[in-house]
Amino acid sequence: MPGIGVIVNIVAVLVGTAIGLLFGRLISERFRTIAFSAIGLAVIVIGASMALSGLGDLADTHLGDYSALVLVGALAVGSLMGEAMRIEYRLERFGMWLQDKAYKAPMLSPGKADQPGEKGHTLVEGFVTASLLFCVGAMTVLGSLQDGLGDPSLLFLKALLDGIASIALATTLGVGVGLSVIPIFALQGGIALGASAIEPFITPAVIAAIEAVGGALILAIGLDLAQIKRLPVGNMLPAVFLAAAFALLWG
C-alpha cells in the first residue's frame, strides 16, 4: 500500500521518543549534562559528514567546481529571507506555546525544568534538530518516492534508524523530538503522494544540494547543543529549498 512506509516511520519516531522520555526521567542532572554535550558532538559529526558528502556528490554533476557556490549562495540568500520572515522568532513562540500545552501532561516531561534538556528553547531545538535529521538526506527523498510507487522497503530501514536516533535525542532534548513527526508527515507524505508527478524533478543534483545545505544546518545545531556557538538556524531553513531550486535549474 503506497504510504505505509511513511506511517511506519512516524510510529517509529513516536515510540522512540516515548522511550527516550521515559529514560530521561531516570537520568540525573549531572549525567544529563554530559549526555547533552555528547549528543551535540554526534550531531556535529553527522552534519559535517552529510554536508561534505552532499558537496562531493554535487561536484560530480554539471555544476562541477561551482558546486560550493550553491552551498554559499543558498545559505546566504536563504538566511536573509529567513531573517526577513523572522522564522526563528516564530519557531520560538510556537515552541513556547507547545511547551505550555505539553508540560501540563506529566508523561511528556523527561525531568525537572532546570535541567539542560528542559531549557526554554530546547523544545524548539528538539523539534528542529530531529526534523532536520529525519527529513534531510537521500534516504528521505528516495525512500518516499519508492514508497509512493509501491515499495516501502527503504523507508522501513529509515524508520528503524530514526526510531533509534529519537530515543537518544528525546533523552536530552525532550518532547520536541516527537513533534518532528509533523514535518515527516508533511514532507515524506507529500513526496509519496506526488511520487509519479515529481519524480522527474528529483535529480541527483537536487538530492545532493539538499544534503549539503541540510548537513550544514545540522552541524550548526550541533554547535549549539555542544554549547560552542548558537546560530539562528531557524532563519536559515529557506536555504534548503533554495539549494534544491538552484540545483534543479543549473545542476
Query: Over the stretch 37-64, which tens digit does the pLDDT of each residue have?
Result: 888 899 899 999 999 999 999 988 888 8
Q: Which residue has the cell 503522494?
A: 193
Q: Report how far Cα 108 is from the mean position of its chain's Cα atoms.
A: 21
Show me where the domains of the chain are located. 4-250
Amino acid at 232: P
Single-letter amino acid, residue 241 = F
pLDDT at res. 27: 76
How distant is the alpha carbon of residue 213 from its chain centre?
12
Output 110 or 220, whichever has higher pLDDT.
Answer: 220
Q: Are 144 and 195 in contact (CB under 8 A)?
A: yes
Using pLDDT thresholds of 50, 70 and 90, give the confidence band for residue 114: very low
Rounded to the nearest 10 degrees, the angle between the axes of helix 87-102 and helix 67-85 is 60
Reply yes or no on whether the pLDDT at 142 is more than 70: yes
